[in-house]
A = this chain, B = another copy of it.
Amino acid sequence: MALLHCPTRFSITCSYSREQKLSIKVGRYSRIIAGKVNGSIQTIAVSKNSWMVSVASMAEVSTITRTKTRQNIPTKKQLVDPFRQGIIIEGGVGYRQTVVIRSYEVGPDKTATLESHLNLLQETALNHVWVSGLLGDGFGATHGMVRHNLIWVVTRMQLQVDQYPIWGEVLKIDTWVGASGKNGMRRDWLIRSHVTGQVYARATSTWVMMNQQTRRLSKMPEEVRAEISPWFIKKHAIEEETPGTIKKLDNTANYKNSKLKPKRTDLDMNHHVNNVKYVNWMLETIPEISLEGYQLFSITMEYKRECRPSDTVQSLCQPDEDRVSQDGVQVDKNNEEQLQAELEGDASPSGPSPSFTHLLQMTMNSKTEEIVRGRTTWKRKPRLSH
Contacts and interface: CB of A to CB of B under 8 A. Distances in A.
Interface of A: 1, 31-33, 35-36, 55-56, 59-60, 63, 67, 69-73, 83-85, 98, 100, 102-104, 106-108, 110, 113, 115, 119, 122-123, 126, 130, 138-139, 165-170, 193-196, 198, 263-265, 267-271, 274, 276, 280, 284, 288, 334, 339-340, 343-345, 382-384, 386
Contact of A70 (B63, B106, B166, B271): B166
Contacts of A84: 100
10 contacts: A1-B334, A36-B196, A56-B383, A56-B384, A59-B343, A70-B193, A107-B267, A107-B269, A167-B269, A264-B284
A295 B344 CA distance: 51
Number of copies: 2
A312 to B, nearest CB: 16
Contacts of A103: 122-123, 126, 138-139, 268-269
A72 B195 contact: yes
Contacts of A59: 343-345, 384
Contacts of A56: 343, 383-384
Contacts of A280: 263, 265
Contact of A69 (B98, B113, B195): B195
A59 B385 CA distance: 11
Contacts of A130: 168
B265 A115 contact: yes
| Best-surrounded residue of A98, A102, A126 (most CB of chain B within 10 A) | A102
Contacts of A63: 345, 382, 384, 386
| Best-surrounded residue of A104, A268, A270, A288 (most CB of chain B within 10 A) | A104
Contacts of A269: 103, 106-108, 110, 167
Contact of A108 (B110, B271, B334, B339): B271
A107 B310 CA distance: 16
B168 A72 contact: yes
A263 B123 CA distance: 25
Given A83-B98, A106-B268, A107-B264, 4 more contacts: A56-B383, A59-B345, A83-B194, A115-B265
A123 B102 contact: yes
Given A71-B167, A104-B274, A110-B138, A32 B344 contact: yes
Contacts of A32: 340, 344
